[in-house]
A and B are shown apart, each in its own frame.
Chain A
Amino acid sequence: MASIKLRGDTSGEITIQAPAVAGTTTLNLPATSSTLATTAQTEAVYNSLGVRNLIINGDMRIDQRNAGASVTANDQTFVVDRFKFRARLTSKMTAEQVTDVPTGQGFQYSTKITSSSAYTIVSNDYFNFQQILEGQNISHLMFGTSDAKTVTLSFWVKSSLTGNFAVALNNYQASTRAYPAEYTINTADTWEKKTITIQGDTSGTWDTDNTAALGIIFSLGYGSDHEGTKNSWNSTDTNSFSGSVNLLETNGATLYITGVQLEVGDTATEFEHRPYDMELQRCFRYYWQGDGTNYATQYSNGAFIICDLPTHMRVRPTTSYNSTNATGSFADYSRTNRFQLYDNTDPTYNVNTPKADAEL
């Protein structure tokens, strides 16, 4: 394999190497003085051409379920769209969409999490705020292979507490790989931007289908059973590390988060402010609810509801609804792109706010 080496004035050198293939390949250099792009620069340009933020609703602006109302953040409780809580115990915290945001960044909303007590964390505890990414949206990261891409997580955060906090990436469904990263909140009650670059994981099983593949896990309180080596890939489901701040151990402690972005490369670019309709449509893949009008069509023997969903949901959804008189005798015939319930017992049913849930 032929190559040319150019030695610099000091100890450095550059090797230009011909490919080990037959035939002639021509590389045209610029006609004027110029500089070749680094891999990071090329990735930054590539990212700017498409949807570079892998997080959906990272600016916390879409809140279909709660419309800004405060919720008790129990296990599997969603606050804004696509962001939910896991909690070993109930009633340890509340959460809500609020308008407290860092200035000059273009955000309108953040999520505020408030500790409800001074709870002493025990070894098997887990409390976190998270978003799970679908495998089909992370396959290009090539995690679990030797070609795994470096990714950069960035977000804005504000807390009444200071110190070293944990945020982790993990292979959510398999729960065999986790990277608990450390970030430091330096000043209480002050917005700070945090950036964490993580070498892609070359091990483990990372799903690339429509299931729960990559978790972004903000720790709110973890016991020692779930602590691993920080800033490193662990072969266990350890989403925190020893000595990190547990928000739930301080009554009234607050944590605000917005501008969450995960992107390919080793550089945190400016937050990608996507059009509202685009972001809402992406949320619909995981959750949709209609308005408060009556969706039921009544006939002689019963009632049915049929409406097209705005996009194909991730999987056939769980369906529910609000009603003042429907007692729940419907059967479900929904599909990923259609909400469809049928009843043959009561022609007077009035059903509003249909809900389709295909979340991870």
Chain B
Amino acid sequence: MYKLVNDPINGGLADCIKRNADNALIPMVNGNRDYQEYLEWIAEGNTPEEAE
């Protein structure tokens, strides 16, 4: 459902997550409602896919 994203400029992981359903990129900021949904999904025991 979600996938971690590589940071092609700085290396490592980017500060965003990809939502697989629509390829949307969700920033890891608390005020973003999509990020809140992601956190709820994580709290349910789910794990995002590794970055490619």
Q: Mark A301-314, 1 if CB is under 8 A from B, else 0.
A: 01000000000001
Whether the Cβ atoms of B23 and A332 lie closer than 8 Å is no
**Residues in A whose Cβ lies below 8 Å from that of B25:** 318-320, 330-332, 334, 341
Contacts A332-B14, A332-B16, A360-B33 known; A318 to B26 CB distance under 8 Å? yes
Whether the Cβ atoms of A320 and B14 lie closer than 8 Å is no
**Residues in B whose Cβ lies below 8 Å from that of A318:** 19, 24-27, 32, 34-35
B1-31 interface (Cβ within 8 A of A): 5-9, 14, 16, 18-19, 22-27, 29, 31
A333 at the binding interface (Cβ < 8 Å): yes
**Residues in B whose Cβ lies below 8 Å from that of A317:** 27, 32
B50 at the binding interface (Cβ < 8 Å): no
In the complex, what residue of chain B is closest to A358 when comparing beta carbons? B32
* B29 CB → nearest A CB, Å: 5
A344 at the binding interface (Cβ < 8 Å): yes
How many residues belonging to B are interface residues under a CB distance threshold of 8 Å?
Answer: 22
Number of A-B contacts (CB under 8 A): 62
B52 at the binding interface (Cβ < 8 Å): yes
A210 at the binding interface (Cβ < 8 Å): yes
**Residues in B whose Cβ lies below 8 Å from that of A326:** 23
In the complex, what residue of chain B is closest to A212 when comparing beta carbons? B33
Contact surface of B with A, Cβ cutoff 8 Å: 5-9, 14, 16, 18-19, 22-27, 29, 31-35, 52
Given A332-B27, A357-B34, output 8 extra A-B contacts at Cβ < 8 Å. Answer: A210-B31, A316-B32, A318-B24, A330-B25, A331-B8, A331-B25, A333-B9, A341-B25
Contact surface of A with B, Cβ cutoff 8 Å: 210-212, 302, 314-321, 326-334, 341-344, 357-360
A-B contact pairs, 11 of them (CB 8 A): A212-B33, A318-B25, A318-B32, A318-B34, A327-B23, A328-B23, A331-B6, A332-B14, A333-B14, A342-B8, A360-B33
